[in-house]
A and B are shown apart, each in its own frame.
Chain A
């Protein structure tokens, strides 16, 4: 059974149709890229999939729950990480873990044991009581991702997870993502950095509220006779020429 399935999912704001009858599904353990230009409808679609916005028509299930009827159940089973903002800079590493554990309803003994595991896995036991602001960017990013996995969500939404970090940290980060996917977590990556898209198993491209393309990066490059995903994006975006 797909972890995410939408059927003609639509959202309008007055006369404007932000998301126009999108139908797609994402399997368990998949790394799925959700791409599109600014204003293409990505954010609106994601808000519906995370239970933050009700659809106008159509339907969607996330981790087996209906986003319209059971948004709270959906929220409990998803994680979210953004490279730009996920952790509280003024809190220590340990405090951040405890805060997120608490928000997701974990009990204190569970938080304690998970904290120990997490610190050991990332090799940051020494830094546990340092403020997050003092950590290098690459570490923050790995910590943010680990925190998003704390409550063992079925799906983690990643928003431009690796923009701005150095190439080595970026590759190490993708390895963490691969590891999570191999253990059965589904990853939904939103980005407009096409080099991030190259790492996904499949990508969808939204243009003007619709999904204009959905396939593996390899197939898309063949289909659009493009050398890289940047070129695929440019060819697709030109179709729905953005009037802003």
Chain B
């Protein structure tokens, strides 16, 4: 069953086309990731799906409810955690939770089971004002407040931003447990590494959809040979690799440079690259074939897209 559906959704702010013709389908019980950099249109999509802004054209439903016509019922059954911390900074942890329960007409104890795992970590600080919490703690409190009315659909806009890796890991573990309780989760992130943690992902760039698939389905779509290469001089290495015969693309990627070749040239490729780099006087060379990451695919889709708007942005 489809829990979230958008149909040719578009939204502009003046000349800026924030979301362009986006059609998406999210199944019930999925953790679905919206992956894209700042300006991809993630937040605009969330704001349309939560009925906070109206789309210019197109339609969307959440749990079968139209986001424009049936917004009142919609707001009862969704939980939303905006990208910016939006709880009351002057209220304590406990007061914030009580306030949100009250707004939705429930008591904390009605749905405490759902948030218990998360809330126990906050309990030692329950009398602390929300504004005085650390980034990770704020995020946990915001999640509790978004869950206290037991929503059918949970919408999380960049929950990992500004949070250290320890808290981020804990947060994703929590999302898995929530999914097990049957809640559908739409979560956005600019971090390509987090794509792997979702059941399915949509790659977004400049308001447009580049691809929708499982993370494995996305990476399987990368067809050209890809190598991770390193040497002592990274800057010169990248320049040299671009001049290698058959090189399609070369970019810095962590401690390696990623080199994409136009076509596979038998297994000799690795050796040819090595020989070439030796002839260019590189030292401590390492060359190995690697599987594409979601990030490699994202770049590939960005650069091979037919859309001129996406191309000019990245000259």
Residue positions of A touching B, CB distance < 8 A: 37-39, 123, 136-138, 163-169, 171-172, 174-175, 178-179, 181-182, 192-195, 198-199, 216-218, 228, 230, 233-234, 237-238, 242, 244
Query: Do the beta carbons of B193 and A230 come within 8 Å of each other?
Result: yes
Whether B59 is near chain A, meaning CB under 8 Å from some CB there, is no
Q: Which of B95-103, B248-256, B274-282 lies at the binding interface? A: B248-256
Whether B303 is near chain A, meaning CB under 8 Å from some CB there, is yes
Q: 4 tightest A-B contacts by CB?
A: A198-B254, A178-B235, A166-B37, A171-B251
* Closest chain B CB from A88 CB (angstroms): 19
* Closest chain B CB from A184 CB (angstroms): 12
Q: Which of B50-58, B62-70, B130-138 lies at the binding interface? A: B130-138
CA distance A182 to B254 in the complex (A): 17
* Closest chain B CB from A185 CB (angstroms): 12
Query: Do the beta carbons of A39 and B134 come within 8 Å of each other?
Result: yes
CA distance A218 to B228 in the complex (A): 14
Query: Do the beta carbons of B166 and A233 come within 8 Å of each other?
Result: yes
Of B165, B190, B234, the residue contacting A178 (CB under 8 A) is B234
Q: C-beta contact mask, B120-135 vs A, less than 8 Å → 1, else 0?
A: 0000000000000111
Of A38, A174, A216, the residue contacting B164 (CB under 8 A) is A38
CA distance A165 to B192 in the complex (A): 11
Whether B169 is near chain A, meaning CB under 8 Å from some CB there, is yes
- The A interface, classified by DSSP as helix, strand, loop or mixed, is helix
* Closest chain B CB from A28 CB (angstroms): 15
Query: Do the beta carbons of B166 and A123 come within 8 Å of each other?
Result: no
Query: Do the beta carbons of A171 and B299 come within 8 Å of each other?
Result: yes
A38 with B303, Cβ < 8 A, contacts A137-B39, A233-B164 known: no
**Most chain A CB atoms below 10 A, which of B37, B39, B313:** B37
Of B38, B135, B254, B314, the residue contacting A168 (CB under 8 A) is B314
Contacts of A193 in B (CB 8 A): 191
Query: Do the beta carbons of B134 and A168 come within 8 Å of each other?
Result: no
CA distance A198 to B165 in the complex (A): 14
Whether B302 is near chain A, meaning CB under 8 Å from some CB there, is yes
* Closest chain B CB from A244 CB (angstroms): 4
Other than the given A37-B166, A164-B161, A165-B38, 18 more pairs (CB < 8 A) read A38-B134, A136-B39, A164-B37, A166-B298, A166-B302, A167-B298, A167-B302, A171-B253, A174-B252, A178-B234, A182-B236, A193-B191, A198-B254, A237-B165, A237-B166, A238-B166, A242-B134, A244-B134
- The number of residues on chain B lying at the interface, defined by a beta carbon within 8 Å of a beta carbon of chain A, is 38
Residue of A nearest to B314 (CB): A168
* Closest chain A CB from B109 CB (angstroms): 27
Whether B315 is near chain A, meaning CB under 8 Å from some CB there, is yes
Contacts of B302 in A (CB 8 A): 166-168
CA distance A216 to B236 in the complex (A): 20
A218 with B165, Cβ < 8 A, contacts A138-B313, A163-B190 known: no
Can you list 29 pairs linking A and B with CB atoms under 8 Å apart?
Answer: A37-B164, A37-B166, A38-B164, A123-B315, A137-B37, A163-B190, A166-B36, A166-B205, A167-B295, A167-B298, A169-B314, A171-B252, A171-B299, A172-B251, A178-B234, A192-B164, A192-B165, A194-B165, A195-B193, A195-B254, A199-B252, A199-B254, A216-B255, A218-B255, A230-B169, A230-B193, A233-B164, A234-B165, A244-B134
Q: C-beta contact mask, B237-259 vs A, less than 8 Å → 1, else 0?
A: 01000000000000111110000
* Closest chain A CB from B196 CB (angstroms): 11
Contacts of B193 in A (CB 8 A): 195, 228, 230
Residue of A nearest to B251 (CB): A171
Residue of A nearest to B168 (CB): A230
Contacts of B37 in A (CB 8 A): 137, 164-167, 169
Per the 8 Å Cβ criterion, residues 1-42 of B in contact with A are 36-40
CA distance A18 to B315 in the complex (A): 43
Query: Do the beta carbons of A175 and B314 come within 8 Å of each other?
Result: no
A179 with B235, Cβ < 8 A, contacts A137-B39, A138-B314, A198-B255 known: yes
A244 with B137, Cβ < 8 A, contacts A171-B299, A195-B193 known: yes
CA distance A209 to B36 in the complex (A): 34
Whether B113 is near chain A, meaning CB under 8 Å from some CB there, is no
CA distance A194 to B160 in the complex (A): 13
**Most chain B CB atoms below 10 A, which of A123, A167, A169, A174:** A167
Whether B233 is near chain A, meaning CB under 8 Å from some CB there, is yes
